């Protein structure tokens, strides 16, 4: 895994042009997470309709990995129901930690494979995912 692969085209594309970036009016759920070791922060908001993620947006600041990962995450969960989102979140965690089963096709997110070789950066790629887990918890309450 070279640096070029870590900072490959698709990652840089999501960084320079993040999808679903910004704020939602009338969000049903809103979570703010930060990485206290570096000060990066992400806000994640969703609107749920008939048990599905109708709209999702993220806001905040961070490095290429945290922003690209957040951007791709919003794309993959859009329109999915609670159980599906849970499965995606679990699979991404299994994928990035190398522990547990990856049950679904993570599509573009698989490019984060290489992050495992930069252990200090795994946290960056997981920041938005910890926000998603918080939201899932709230949805289940």
Partner 1 sequence: MIDSTKIREDFPILHQKINGNPFVYFDNASTSQKPKVVVEAITDYYYRYNANVHRGLYKISAMATEAYDNARKKVADFIGAAPQEVIFTSGTTASINLVANSWGQENLKENDIVVLSEMEHHSNIVPWHLLQKRLGFKIHFLQVDEDGSLQLDDLAEKCKGAKLVSITHVSNTLGTVNPVEEIVKTAHANGAKVLIDGAQAVPHMAIDVKKIGCDFYAFSGHKMCGPTGVGILWGREQLLESMPPFLGGGSMIDEVHLDYSTYAQLPNKFEAGTMNIAQAIGLGVAVDYLQEIGLDNITAHEQQLTEVALEKLKSLDVQIIGNAQNRVGVISFAMNRIHPHDISTILDHEGVAIRAGHHCTQLLMRKFAVPATTRASFYFYNTIEEIDQFVKGLQKVKEMFRRVS
**Site for partner 1, rule CB under 8 A:** 3, 6-7, 12, 15-16, 37-41, 61-66, 118, 121, 124
User: What's the token pair of residue 132?
Assistant: 């998603």
Residue 62 or 91: which CB sits closer to partner 1? Answer: 62
- Cβ neighbors of 49 (< 8 A, separation 6 or more) are none
**Shortest spacing between CB 39 and partner 1, in angstroms:** 4
How many CA within 13 A on the CB side of residue 56?
A: 25
**Shortest spacing between CB 131 and partner 1, in angstroms:** 16
Helix segments in 24-121, DSSP class H? 64-77, 82-97
**Shortest spacing between CB 108 and partner 1, in angstroms:** 18
**Shortest spacing between CB 95 and partner 1, in angstroms:** 20
Cα separations in angstroms, 92 against 4, 18, 37, 38, 136 = 22, 19, 22, 22, 14
Residue 40 or 85: which CB sits closer to partner 1? Answer: 40
Residue 16 or 49: which CB sits closer to partner 1? Answer: 16
Residue 46 or 111: which CB sits closer to partner 1? Answer: 111
Cα separations in angstroms, 64 against 19, 49, 90, 125, 135 = 13, 31, 22, 9, 23
């Amino acid at each position: 895994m070279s640096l070029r692969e870590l900072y490959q085209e698709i990652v840089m594309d999501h960084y320079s042009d993040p999808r679903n970036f910004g704020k939602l009016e009338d969000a049903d759920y809103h979570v703010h997470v930060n990485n206290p070791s570096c000060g990066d922060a992400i806000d994640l908001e969703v609107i749920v309709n008939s048990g599905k993620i109708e709209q999702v947006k993220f806001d905040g600041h961070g490095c290429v990995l945290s922003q690209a990962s957040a951007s791709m995450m919003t794309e993959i969960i859009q329109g999915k129901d609670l159980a599906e989102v849970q499965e995606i979140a679990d699979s991404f965690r299994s994928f990035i930690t190398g522990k547990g089963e990856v049950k679904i096709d993570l599509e573009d997110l698989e490019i984060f494979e290489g992050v495992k070789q930069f252990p200090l950066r795994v946290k960056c790629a997981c920041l938005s995912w910890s926000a998603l887990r918080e939201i899932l918890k709230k949805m289940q309450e």
